[in-house]
A and B are shown apart, each in its own frame.
Chain A
């Protein structure tokens, strides 16, 4: 038990770069709540319709992704920049798969 608290003490000593209060996490949580609230407001506030509404909600969703990646997943720190390239490549392929599938299927060959 004492060795555990000793280990914890040494880690606390080595973790001096972390702030004493989890600002990143709290800011990230507040931002994600605000963004979700904004999406609900856009959807049920009867102000926006159709394509404008869908685009607005997608933009709000992408901002949520940035909050998660930068404030919770610590993407911008880490040892190397290769993490960022890895996940950007993933997002690029994701975009291509989804956008290209929808584009191809809009030519009228689908069964209704």
Chain B
């Protein structure tokens, strides 16, 4: 009976924690946590720079003058929701539901595009009123920190599109399950970074 369900290639899969760990995935996933730890260090340096330079406005616009509350609150809720849909994609993947996983992954991609779109429009608006990265040390720190996060999100969207294509064309497989799990880890990590951008940059800038 059990042989009818499990092929020899997947023998013992019942005892495995999840499909992404069932194909030599543990080492790869550990390596990805290592990457996330080093990426955290990049953001740590940028946060330290920003916090030190945040009062150095050189007579230019301050945070409370350029930050649009509705805009950054919308960005925050979009990114939190995309983290949720990405978690649902991983959940559907573990249930072996290919269509559901693709739908949630697609929703995550669309929310990510909406987030980047809002951020780009915010940057264009800032530049239009003269708040460019060259204006003051505060703005240099702001655009470097928030822009690096935005570049990470854009990269994540491209990565998700490639994983979406692979699972759409070839179905769920332990190696592709791992790819989806890793891009999910990357996406949740970006949400963690954004929580601190939301708190340290935007909220502390306007209140």
B33 touches A28 (CB 8 A): no
A11 touches B30 (CB 8 A): no
Known pairs A10-B7, A14-B13, A18-B95; A90 contacts B40 (CB<8 A): yes
Q: Does A108 contact B (CB under 8 A)?
A: no
Most buried by B among A10, A44, A72: A72
Q: Does B151 contact A (CB under 8 A)?
A: no
CB-CB contacts below 8 Å: A1-18 with B: 3-4, 7-18
B56 touches A112 (CB 8 A): yes
Give the residues in chain A near B98, CB-CB below 8 Å. Answer: 4, 8
Give the residues in chain A near B80, CB-CB below 8 Å. Answer: 29, 32-33, 36
Alpha-carbon gap, A26 to B188, bound state (A): 15
A102 touches B51 (CB 8 A): yes
Known pairs A15-B96, A72-B188, A93-B44; A29 contacts B81 (CB<8 A): yes
A8 touches B56 (CB 8 A): no
Known pairs A13-B5, A65-B195, A90-B40; A28 contacts B87 (CB<8 A): yes
B83 touches A68 (CB 8 A): yes
B189 touches A12 (CB 8 A): no
**Of the residues A79, A94, A105, contact of B17 by C-beta under 8 Å:** A79
Q: Does B173 contact A (CB under 8 A)?
A: yes
Chain B 143-175: CB-based contact to A (< 8 A → 1; otherwise 0): 000000000000000000000000000011100
Q: Closest chain A residue to B84 by CB distance?
A: A29
B6 touches A73 (CB 8 A): no
A10 touches B97 (CB 8 A): no
B40 touches A68 (CB 8 A): no
Give the residues in chain A near B81, CB-CB below 8 Å. Answer: 29
Q: Does B26 contact A (CB under 8 A)?
A: yes
Give the residues in chain A near B76, CB-CB below 8 Å. Answer: 36
A4 touches B171 (CB 8 A): yes
Residues on A close to B: CB < 8 A?
Answer: 3-4, 7-18, 22, 24-26, 28-29, 32-33, 36, 39-40, 43-44, 53-54, 57-58, 60-61, 64-65, 68-69, 71-74, 77-80, 82-83, 86-87, 89-91, 93-95, 97-98, 101-102, 105, 110-112
**Nearest 7 Cβ contacts at the A-B interface:** A90-B37, A11-B96, A101-B48, A12-B96, A94-B44, A79-B26, A29-B84
